[in-house]
Amino acid sequence: MKKVLLIIAFIFTANAANAIDVTIESPKIRLMPPGVNMTAGYFTIINNSDKDITIVGVSSSKYDSMEIHDTVKDGDVMKMVKQDSVTISANARFEFKPMSYHLMLMMPDEDFKENQEIDVTFITKSGDVFSSVFTVKKMTVMKMKMKMDMGDMGHMMKSMMRPDYVFPAGVKGGKNMMSKKLMFGYKYGTMEMDCCKDSTSSVSNDFIKNLGYSMAPTDMTMDMHMFSAMYAVNNKISLMAMISYIEKEMEMVKLSGMNVGNTHKTSSRGMGDLSIAGLYKLSGKSNLKASLSIPTGEYDKKDHNMMGMRKVLPYPMQLGSGTYDLTLGYSFQEIHDDWSYGFQLNATKRFDYNSEDWRYGDRRELSAWVAKPVSQTVSLSFGLDVEHQDNINGKSSNRNNMTPTWNEYFHSHLRVSSNIGLNFKLPNSKSRIGIQCGVPIYEDVDGPQMDPDFKCNLGLSYMM
Which of 80/118 has CB closer to Cu ion?
80
Which of 80/230 has CB closer to Cu ion?
80
Alpha-carbon distance 436 to 451, whole Å? 19
Which of 148/378 has CB closer to Cu ion?
148
> Min. distance of Cβ 20 from Cu ion in angstroms?
24
> Min. distance of Cβ 40 from Cu ion in angstroms?
6
In the range 124-183, which residues lie near Cu ion by CB under 5 A? Answer: none
Per the CB < 8 A criterion, the answer to whether 208 and 255 are in contact is yes
The CA-CA-CA angle for residues 420, 422, 426, to 5°, reads 175
Region binding Cu ion by CB under 5 A among candidate stretches 80-88, 324-332, 347-355, 359-367:
80-88
In the range 344-383, which residues lie near Cu ion by CB under 5 A? Answer: none
Count of residues that bind Cu ion according to CB under 5 A? 3
Region binding Cu ion by CB under 5 A among candidate stretches 49-57, 99-107, 165-173, 336-344:
99-107
Three-class SS state of 84 = coil
Which of 53/80 has CB closer to Cu ion?
80
> Min. distance of Cβ 47 from Cu ion in angstroms?
23
H or E stretch covering 155: helix 155-160
Which of 62/399 has CB closer to Cu ion?
62
Which of 69/264 has CB closer to Cu ion?
69
Q: Taking CB under 5 A as the rule, does residue 69 contact Cu ion?
A: yes
CB atoms within 10 A of CB 288: 13
Supply the DSSP string of 118-151, one letter for each residue. Answer: EEEEEEETTS-EEEEEEEEE--PPP---SEEE-G
Which of 80/226 has CB closer to Cu ion?
80
> Min. distance of Cβ 108 from Cu ion in angstroms?
15
> Min. distance of Cβ 77 from Cu ion in angstroms?
14
Q: Name, in order, each residue with C-beta under 8 angstroms of 132's C-beta and a sequence gap of 6 or more.
A: 24, 27, 43, 119, 120, 122
> Min. distance of Cβ 155 from Cu ion in angstroms?
12
Region binding Cu ion by CB under 5 A among candidate stretches 75-83, 189-197, 307-315, 437-445:
75-83
> Min. distance of Cβ 136 from Cu ion in angstroms?
17
> Min. distance of Cβ 153 from Cu ion in angstroms?
5
Q: Name, in order, each residue with C-beta under 8 angstroms of 342's C-beta and a sequence gap of 6 or more.
A: 167, 171, 331, 332, 333, 334, 368, 369, 371
The CA-CA-CA angle for residues 354, 355, 356, to 5°, reads 90
Per the CB < 8 A criterion, the answer to whether 269 and 317 are in contact is no
Q: Taking CB under 5 A as the rule, does residue 53 contact Cu ion?
A: no
Region binding Cu ion by CB under 5 A among candidate stretches 65-73, 252-260, 344-352, 400-408:
65-73
Q: Taking CB under 5 A as the rule, does residue 104 contact Cu ion?
A: yes
Which of 69/411 has CB closer to Cu ion?
69
Q: How far is CA 328 from the centre of its chain?
A: 12
52-80 burial: b if 16+ Cβ within 10 Å, else e: ebebbebbbebbbbbbbbebeeeeeebbb
Taking CA atoms, 224 is separated from 66, 420, 459, 461, in Å, by: 43, 20, 12, 16
Alpha-carbon distance 105 to 177, whole Å? 18
Per the CB < 8 A criterion, the answer to whether 434 and 421 are in contact is yes
Region binding Cu ion by CB under 5 A among candidate stretches 56-64, 77-85, 330-338, 370-378:
77-85
H or E stretch covering 208: helix 205-210
Beta bridge partners of 86: 55
Which of 67/325 has CB closer to Cu ion?
67
Three-class SS state of 154 = helix
Which of 160/211 has CB closer to Cu ion?
160
Q: Taking CB under 5 A as the rule, does residue 32 contact Cu ion?
A: no
Region binding Cu ion by CB under 5 A among candidate stretches 26-34, 73-81, 305-313, 446-454:
73-81
> Min. distance of Cβ 31 from Cu ion in angstroms?
16
Which of 80/392 has CB closer to Cu ion?
80
Alpha-carbon distance 422 to 385, whole Å? 16
Instruction: Rule CB under 5 A: choose which of 22, 53, 80, 450 binds Cu ion.
Output: 80
Region binding Cu ion by CB under 5 A among candidate stretches 87-95, 97-105, 110-118, 192-200:
97-105
Per the CB < 8 A criterion, the answer to whether 139 and 28 are in contact is yes
Region binding Cu ion by CB under 5 A among candidate stretches 69-77, 93-101, 371-379, 411-419:
69-77
Residues of this chain that bind Cu ion (CB under 5 A) = 69, 80, 104
